[in-house]
Amino acid sequence: MSDVFVSYARPTERQARQITETLRGLGFAVWRDDELPAHRAYSEVIEERIKTAKAVLVLWSADAAKSQWVRAEADAAREAGTLVQVTMDGSIPPMPFNQIQCADLSNWAGDTTSQGWQKVEASLALLVGPAAGSPRAAEQAGGTSPSRKLSVCVLPFVNMSGDAEQEYFSDGISEDIITDLSKISAVSVIARNTAFTYKGKVLDVTEVAKQLKVTHVLEGSVRKAGPRVRITAQLIDGTAGDHVWAERYDRDLTDIFAIQDEISKAIASALQLKLLPKEKKAIEHRGTDSAAAYNLYLMARQHWISGNDGDPKRDEVVERICRQATAVDPTYARAWALMALAQSSLRFRFSRAGDEGLESAERALALDPNIAEAHCVKGIFLREQGQLAEADAEMATAVALNPDSWEVNKEAGRHFFRHGDFAKAIPYFDKATSLMETDYNDAGLLISCYNALGDVQGQRRAAQLTQERAEKAIAHDPSNGAALGYGASSLAVLGEADRAREWIDRALLIDPGNMTMRYNLACALTVYLDDADTALNLLEPYFERVGVQDISHAKVDPDMDKLREVPRFCDMLAKAETRLQAA
């Protein structure tokens, strides 16, 4: 039987044939459906081949995402632990496959030295053994191939600082270690969103390994006090529960990058892996040499992720912290890009005069042309200038550069929503919610997308997810108006009208000035609670204050459709557009 099964949609047959021939040329035994025998049922042969294959290579494309055959084959491989996936056109795999690493072979022309191809080859080598003609096989000559696929879950490091406000630092360390290990081609790493579902829980590590089907689990703790930091880390065999490696680092905070490098390299050594030169270089690249700037960036990003969306104070805090980070290290591109996002929000959502984030984005790109989030800001600016084709190109560049960025998927989803292309927005919002376990905002926007498409089941799924996440956010911060607004909306979608109205009353008492909250409450009242008058009362101050982005959103949002012929609504919208044009 063949080692590798290739799954694809018919429009990508040419690429499938090229990939198959390349793999065979390297020595892999490959099967695809051009070898179907004439005397047997199609489904019977496919099922047999998938079950016996050591690896199933799924070639995702927009057409493949719609194919029930490709999705079924990918699901079978996911369950068996044999799934390797690539994108052929830059599109994101559909749920739940968007939570698994995916190599990028868009525009691939047969170059076996490209980063995307090497990622595919390394994954296949882990499952079936290295092909005779591959670089990895040459590296392992004289040694033994791994007897099982190496995979790691990095559990969120525990904050031992005695200060809940330091949580951002331990979370940031955990995220960076996940990112570092993901750069090692011979290791499969569980995505951040899945790993962080275990945060704050008492765990049996072997049970976690069993649930996630990983060979190893990394756990640890962080204690940060003044200029000192103590990090403990231990790598545990997921089957036996034994410590494979453990270390404690008690250093000055300025050594934080060296500690992270040492942890990643020590794990590679413990797993008996030899880092390729480019992998070693990628791990050591931090974007800044300043521990102080890094600490400030982590603090700013935590505010950006978990702050009260719809409150300009959140964006002002992020901008202020990032300014300090870039003052400490003017070459820190990530801090410039995050500041650009906050400035863009202040300008286009809250009509703050002045900086729209373009200057900060350009500064970030001058330092690092591959920083995807800065391309998002350029896309936002171009869209608001009416340069839609150029805006589309910037968003496409951002997605291609970093398809696993929460910020990129969030902004790409909003970009297509404001185009009125709800079907295209859905995969980006899906991906954003999968990348950030606290993201109720994009889950809430999925409700509107599914409403526009008439997908009732999708709407209810999105509402359930939104409600769960909104409740967690409110438990952490009872004054979070944005979470209250999305929570009320999701309750209305789920048919819990009385609870929805209780949440609406509570939200307006706690945070009446939150414009995002007001808008979402109005949506719930209009679409699901049949109370247009109260909705219009809530929208009046909204239209008097919000910026061009939110007005663009309201003009295409299907949740507003019932109000579009109401004279009062039309008058409020017209006045808002006049105000913004004058500004």
Average pLDDT estimate for 285-309: 88
Q: Tell me whether strands 228-237 and 216-225 are parallel, antiparallel or unpaired.
A: antiparallel
CB 158 within 8 A of CB 168: no
Question: pLDDT category, 40, cuts 50, 70, 90?
Answer: low
Find out whether 410 and 432 touch, Cβ atoms under 8 Å.
yes
Range name among 113-117, 461-465, 481-485 with the lowest pLDDT average: 113-117
**Phi/psi at 228 (nearest 5 deg)?**
-115, 150
Q: How confident is the model at residue 36 (pLDDT cuts 50, 70, 90)?
A: low
Q: For residue 33, what pLDDT band results from cuts at 50, 70 and 90?
A: confident
Higher pLDDT, 185 or 446: 446
pLDDT at 132 over 80: no
- The model carries a pTM of 0.68
Name the least confident of 53-62, 266-275, 398-407, 491-500. 266-275
Note whether 318 and 345 are within 8 A (CB). Answer: no
Q: How confident is the model at residue 384 (pLDDT cuts 50, 70, 90)?
A: confident
**Mean pLDDT score, 147-166:** 81
Which residues, in sequence order, are CB contacts of 342 under 8 Å at separation 6+? 304, 315, 316, 318, 319, 322, 357
In contact, 526 and 565? CB cutoff 8 Å: no
The predicted pLDDT at position 143 comes to: 40
Contacts of 281 (CB under 8 A, 6+ apart): none
Cβ neighbours for 295, distance < 8 A, ≥ 6 positions apart: 169, 253
pLDDT, one tens digit per residue, over 226-246 is 888 999 999 999 988 888 898
CB count within 10 Å of CB 52 equals: 12
Top-confidence residue, 271 or 128: 271
Answer whether residue 435 shows pLDDT above 60: yes
- What pLDDT is attached to residue 253? 86
What is the arithmetic mean of pLDDT over 187-211? 86
Domains defined along the chain, listed by start: 4-139 (3.40.50.10140), 151-286 (3.40.50.10070), 437-583 (1.25.40)
Tens-place pLDDT, residues 392-434: 999 999 999 888 889 999 999 999 998 889 999 999 998 898 8
Strand 30-31 relative to strand 4-7, pairing: parallel
Angle between helices 333-348 and 291-306 in degrees, nearest 10: 30
pLDDT surpassing 70 at residue 134: no
Report the run of H or E that residue 57 belongs to, with start and end: strand 55-60
- Render pLDDT for 161-177 as a digit per residue (tens, 0 to 9): 877 778 888 998 998 89
Among candidates 26, 4, 15, 27, which has minimal Cα distance to 77? 4
Q: Residue 398 CA to chain centroid, in angstroms? A: 13
Question: Taking residues 244-272, what's their average pLDDT?
Answer: 87
Question: CA nearest 71: which of 102, 46, 93?
Answer: 93
pLDDT at 535 over 90: yes
SS (H, E, C) 294-314: HHHHHHHHHHHHHCCCCCHHH
In 334-373 the beta strands, taken as DSSP E runs, fall at none
Residue 267: CB partners within 8 Å, gap ≥ 6?
152, 181, 218, 235, 245
Provide the H-helix boundaries in 183-329: 192-195, 205-212, 256-270, 277-284, 291-306, 312-328
Q: How much is the average pLDDT of 136-149?
A: 45
Q: What is the helix, strand, coil percentage profile of the chain, to 5? A: 60, 10, 30
pLDDT higher than threshold 50 for residue 144? no
**CA-CA distance, 251 to 266, in Å (whole number)?**
17
Residue 52, pLDDT above cutoff 70: yes
Whether the predicted pLDDT of 79 surpasses 80 = no
Single-letter amino acid, residue 61: S
Q: Average pLDDT of 530-534?
A: 94
